[in-house]
A and B are shown apart, each in its own frame.
Chain A
């Protein structure tokens, strides 16, 4: 049987979800036997190729992240969201109730440790979106594993279900938002 092709992306988040994935103990050996990682922070491959499963960690808060998730969606058959950021917005969405310009001014100019600060203007720095969005407000998402970070058990559940050909819906007893 051909291996399942997987790509993962790490958007506006802390990488905790990927850490939780690496924390699934010996199950990772089974995963490695069944799965082939393409673009992912784990493989350090930077280019997209068509895959079966796309996994997104993190919320979407700037132009680059928006582009990445759109490209991932374009290249995968099933898209799974990992963690509170991708599912709901998470910690990153703290800024969503504030004005974007105020946030930038606060971060780059007004903080106590900043001397002669200025807001980055270079075209190389991706511009912030007005709000921080969960993945499903930018692209269609097929399944969700919330948690901050998701318990390894929840990640394992999601992968097991997918490998068995089912769309996972996390049962109540292992669902956590924190």
Chain B
């Protein structure tokens, strides 16, 4: 069936055919025909954000929490440029996003027309792929391809730039089954020889560790199930990057906590001391490796990644396996079972004894005394009061609070943790929580924030109130750019250049001004009641939690240092470790 319709209608039809139920967007001159089509249908819900950056982050939250691609619709020029931060964020964290932008009519392109920007030029480095569509006949086909590329292989953001005359003109609609088959078909099965070699190494390993990342989440629910099976069956310890939290449950007894710059002592020392590292869908980010030359010096390393360019980019892989995590784990399990489910039991048990000793250091300890709320305490209480909620989703902004959230909140399931890992985008969390709540209307969605990050996209309060989204904005307010302040204390002679938040709003009044609820809490004794009040309120809440202003986030591996050169902060000063071992263990 070759149906004739306008470009604008084609866009809506193609989105429907792709199973899209929600679009995050903001109208403007160059997308008016599309908005006109959206107005005349009910299959797709449009969420009006208050800034295009918010639209992309909301779509990221939607995508990350559902496993489906997030869809964004913005206008030309400033609409597109405002989306750039979100697109870059999605590229760094491999989040599937389809961003549709309006463009000035084809005959005006290049004339410096009103709200014209070279959108495909600007977004070329921050998308996985982008297109400028100049023919209405090619429009539906391009949108189908865009969905394929956003979701195939390593997911990422794609952008389709659509001039206004292309939206108005009539053309032939191409259905999804009739769309051009892209030559872009990343392979999902890993090489069985290498997988077998890895299983051999696993059978003999004395000090193995699983190091998992966002790739497990991106691979889908099945990957997490298989990962759990493999970990339980082998009894190997497991740690994860920031992006991979939830793939293995935090309550699992093989869990070492997050690794990396602010990861746990036991996770980082296990990475440093292991003899077999099995990297599943992580990419040896510099926040993970510390000083490359001293990164896990005595281990053989397996690297499972669907993106060949990730392998051997930073760290040499002894077992390079290119493929989708779920497929590779399935094959690993098959081979391992077929060979008799062997592990080096005695040695692994000794390894666990060593790990237990590291765990006993209690690296996340802090002292809650005095009348001021410690940020760690606030999160520990938030965790205690919400962890029974199976439908709990946690978003974060970027900074100290983000690391504390990763340390103190426990994630039992994948897709329940939304954070900006690669790009480190302050202002990500709030719009992301909006997207999550849209996708899961009855869930408990909490954005753990710092006051500075939160202010970067606070305009989305309008969105939260308009759609009655009961998102909880849990702001750890230290009136500082906490992480910047921490670096300045440690590296720049305590010269706190521009790292305090002057002229902060009254967050309770701010909430009320938007028609939401505000809660202020500054006394540890009131904290539980205040959190309960937040949880019990059916609507958006800004929770202004005044916390200790000079708390530092530990443990910490200063960059250029190795995993065994962690700073332990409070644990050291409490004398948990003896003096000599305090810094270098």
Pair from one complex: no
